[in-house]
Homo-oligomer: A and B are copies of this chain.
Amino acid sequence: MARNAEKDLQQREQRMNDILDAAIEVMAVKGVGSASMQHIAGAAGISIGNLYHYFKSKEEIFAEALRRGQTGYGEFVRSVADGPGDARAKLLTIAENWLALGNSWAHTILIHTARLSEASEELRRDVTGRFTVNLQPVAAIIAQGQAEGTAPEGDPLELAFYFTSLIQGLTLQRMPGSEVPVPMRASSVVDLFAGRREALDRRRDA
């Protein structure tokens, strides 16, 4: 062992993260269809062959990027659900985080791409499974909102499904070159699922 095993492992981990970031980056900048191994390798600053020392196929790269993105989102949304604040504030935090450009945008695109592509059955199942799991914290927030009198009636899980689908759907409308000339505001979206108090009041007064 002339080598530092621990350092090697750290470097390997770092490289894998670089590659995943590069994959997301390429997709976001040059388009999903152009995310070839060639491009990813170039963006990561390594050779094509070396890519295969870290991931054994293109699919694995995307699967891992997806897993990372969905897991991160899952942790985020769970921490929001478990944190302090009323339902409306929580949903607003989630919506704003999602609609803000950056990593989350590219990750959402990745999810859509995985669904649209000829991805393996397994990958699609995994993505759908994590998507479903990540619905739970949102459902909990909706239930909280119903208890607080701000959320509409109905199955909280179903409403969480709609909330998430709406935000994902909106994300697609933000593709560069496809911007719809209509404002997209997190607060307005959240109003649908946890109405602003004054709005409800006014409506109630009517």
Contacts and interface: CB of A to CB of B under 8 A. Distances in A.
Nearest to A109: B116
Interface string A18-32: 000000000000111
Nearest to A167: B169
Name the prevailing secondary structure of the A interface residues: helix
B191 A33 contact: no
Given A112-B112, A191-B154, A173 B177 contact: no
A51 B199 CA distance: 56
A44 interface: no
Interface stretch (A59-67, A69-77, A80-88, A119-127): A119-127
25 contacts: A32-B118, A109-B116, A112-B116, A113-B116, A116-B116, A121-B177, A124-B178, A125-B177, A132-B180, A132-B181, A135-B182, A153-B199, A153-B203, A157-B182, A158-B183, A161-B180, A161-B182, A161-B184, A162-B166, A162-B188, A162-B189, A165-B172, A166-B166, A167-B169, A169-B169
